[in-house]
Amino acid sequence: MSDANMEEIRMNRLIAVIVLLLLSGRLFAAEDSDSYTATVNAQGEQEIFMEAESYSYTPDRIVVRVGVPVVLNVKKKGIIPHDIIIDDPASGLDIKESLSSSTVIRFTPREKGEFPLYCGKSLLFFKTHREKGMHGVLVVK
Ligand SMILES: [Cu+2]
């Protein structure tokens, strides 16, 4: 085989690898792995289980349906105090709850949209927990 042919084979392989990488990137993006869609329980409520720790919520992107009651169960890990705030009263979201080791929060979203949720705590003059990454999004569809 000539050098030119070998070169062409190498180029074709490289192109194939690049195409595969691009395709797999697109597949992963479509999966949206951090997003969590609430399931409806026997009482007709959308139930969510979340963990809060320093300094994150898991999952940090929650998808719920508009007009259906939500039960948000939050487990807090560790001894550092945290809360959860979703502040949009016009949309039925007027939540500011200090978190114990296990906290249940009930609300019914009235408007579709994406609403930030975050921890409002901070220690003295240090950065707020929100600034340290303790935030997420409630998506109402
Ligand atoms: Cu916090």
Q: Does the pLDDT at position 9 exceed 70?
A: no
Name the pairing type of β-strands 70-76 and 46-53: parallel
121 CA distance to ligand 1 centroid (A)?
A: 5
CA 131 to mean position of chain CA atoms: 16
Q: What is the pLDDT of residues 52-96, one digit of tens each?
A: 999 999 999 999 999 999 999 999 999 999 999 999 999 999 999
Rounded to whole angstroms, the Cα distance separating 138 from 113 reads 8
pLDDT at 30: 42
Do the Cβ atoms of 139 and 64 come closer than 8 Å? yes
- 35-140 topology per CATH: Immunoglobulin-like (2.60.40)
- Count CB neighbours of 40 within 10 A: 13
pLDDT band at 10 (very low <50, low <70, confident <90, very high): confident
Query: How many whole angstroms from 58 Cα to the centroid of ligand 1?
Result: 13
Domain spans in the chain, listed from the N-terminal domain onward = 1-31, 35-140
Decide if 47 contacts 69 (C-beta within 8 A): no
Query: What pLDDT is stored for residue 27 in this prediction?
Result: 47
Q: Which two tokens stand for residue 76?
A: 């807090």
How far is ligand 1, taken at its centre, from the CA of residue 24, in Å? 35
Cα(49) to centroid of ligand 1, in Å? Answer: 17
- Local confidence band at 39 (pLDDT 50, 70, 90 cut-offs): confident
Cβ neighbours of residue 56 closer than 8 Å, sequence gap 6 or more:
133, 134
Q: How close is the Cα of 30 to the center of ligand 1, in Å?
A: 30
- Residue 32 has phi, psi (to 5 degrees) of 55, 60
Q: How far is the CA of 10 from the centre of ligand 1 (A)?
A: 53
Q: How far is the CA of 67 from the centre of ligand 1 (A)?
A: 28
The pLDDT, as a whole number, for residue 11 is 64
**pTM for this predicted structure:** 0.75
**pLDDT score of 26:** 46
